[in-house]
Amino acid sequence: MKILVTGGAGYIGSHICVELLQAGHDVVVIDDFSNSQPEVLEYIHEITGKNVQFYEFNILDEAKTEKVFQENQLDAIIHCAAFKAVGESVSKPIEYYTNNLMTTLIVTKMMRDYHVNNIVFSSSATVYGDPKVVPLTEDCPLGETTNPYGTSKAMMERVLTDVQHAYPQMSVTLLRYFNPIGAHASGLIGENPKGIPNNLMPYVMKVATGELSCLGVFGDDYDTPDGTGVRDYIHVVDLAKGHVAAIEKYSQPGVHICNLGTGKGYSVLDIVKAFEKVNGVKVNYEIKARRPGDIATCYADPTRAKEELGWVAEKTLEDMCRDTWNFAKKHQKSLALFFFVIK
């Protein structure tokens, strides 16, 4: 298949591109590098021996987006392009709603106009809000979302569901995934956001390398074993493989909903301690006040993914920590060499 990956140079999108190429698909990418780096495209080629067809712009540019649909006979879309930080969304709701909703509307409009009938949407467990029970199944009611990021994802799900009902020949898959961390085993691609990280693992990584001095742990008074927030952390490579399974197996018309998680919950301090133990490094941290929009506990029941997609998360928390550190070390060396050369 020829598959468009929006946000395909980003953290999750780049890993999806690798898995799609290795599965024999042709890949088209739209990305504006707002939270990614151009060299990621070179790394994708280095890993797979194949190139993606790349377009650099924001999907909010409808004319340029339409040109991509005109120039390519697309079979399916994997829609990853979105702003994605919970904490930041609380302070920038206008930017989050504008970007996340409008890009989805433009993509679905192009799908309708150019007869592309298969889309996999990168949704989020945040649509469940603050869950009353865990683990979360796909049948759990959508909750009162606790931040604009989660609300935007829930609204994007509703847009896609309504579009499918209006155009019943479409296949819409909503992948609700939990907390992706880790990096590709090659160390070439991983999560390396611009500026101060908003997510846990890249912050841990930058503290461990000395780029940042201390990790802020937001809240130690939650109703959890150690008081810090508990999440279902999933290796990004496992997550990417889940997208490939979904694009191949959920091709029949309808709305398909599937959680992608491990079914295990780990606290923030579990992550810190595991990272230190696996990699033999120290991660300085300090406890801070709770962060707006956060909840105590969230982890998945991944049964449906196993039964319908034949997908099971295979990598361990130790793998996630080890691969993240491998990525950090490799890119720290590259950065040091760069500064040495230009000096």
54, part of any domain = yes
pLDDT reading at 343 higher than 70 = no
At 155-199, the pLDDT tens digits run: 999 999 999 999 999 999 999 999 999 999 999 999 988 778 888
343, part of any domain = no
pLDDT reading at 334 higher than 70 = no
Check residue 233 and report its DSSP letter: E
> How many domains does one find in the chain?
1
Q: Is 129 left (phi over 0), alpha (psi -120 to 50) or beta?
A: left
At 296-310, the pLDDT tens digits run: 999 999 999 999 999
The distance from CA 297 to its chain's CA centroid, rounded to whole angstroms, is 19
Q: How far apart are CA 115 and CA 113, in angstroms?
A: 6
Q: What number of other Cβ atoms are within 10 A of residue 39's Cβ? A: 14
50, part of any domain = yes
Q: Which of the four pLDDT bands, split at 50, 70 and 90, describes residue 94? A: very high
174, part of any domain = yes
- Residues 199-220 have a mean pLDDT of 95
Q: From the candidates 128, 149, 203, 250, which is the catalytic residue? A: 149
The distance from CA 226 to its chain's CA centroid, rounded to whole angstroms, is 26
Q: How far apart are CA 199 and CA 180, in angstroms?
A: 10
310, part of any domain = yes
Q: Closest Cα to residue 286, out of 267, 272, 274? A: 272
pLDDT reading at 341 higher than 80 = no
Q: Is the peptide bond before 135 cis (omega within 30 degrees of 0)?
A: yes
- Residues 268-282 have a mean pLDDT of 98
74, part of any domain = yes
For residue 70, give its domain range.
2-338
Q: How far apart are CA 180 and CA 177, in angstroms?
A: 8
Residue 149 a catalytic site member: yes
Averaged confidence pLDDT in the chain: 94
226, part of any domain = yes
232, part of any domain = yes
Give the pLDDT of residue 333: 57
Pairing of strands 118-124, 171-177: parallel
CATH of the domain at 187: 3.40.50.720
The answer to whether the CB of 299 falls within 8 A of the CB of 264 is yes
At 12-45, the pLDDT tens digits run: 999 999 999 999 999 999 999 998 999 999 999 9
The distance from CA 324 to its chain's CA centroid, rounded to whole angstroms, is 15
- Return all residues near 277 (Cβ < 8 A) that are at least 6 apart: none
Q: Which of the four pLDDT bands, split at 50, 70 and 90, describes residue 85? A: confident
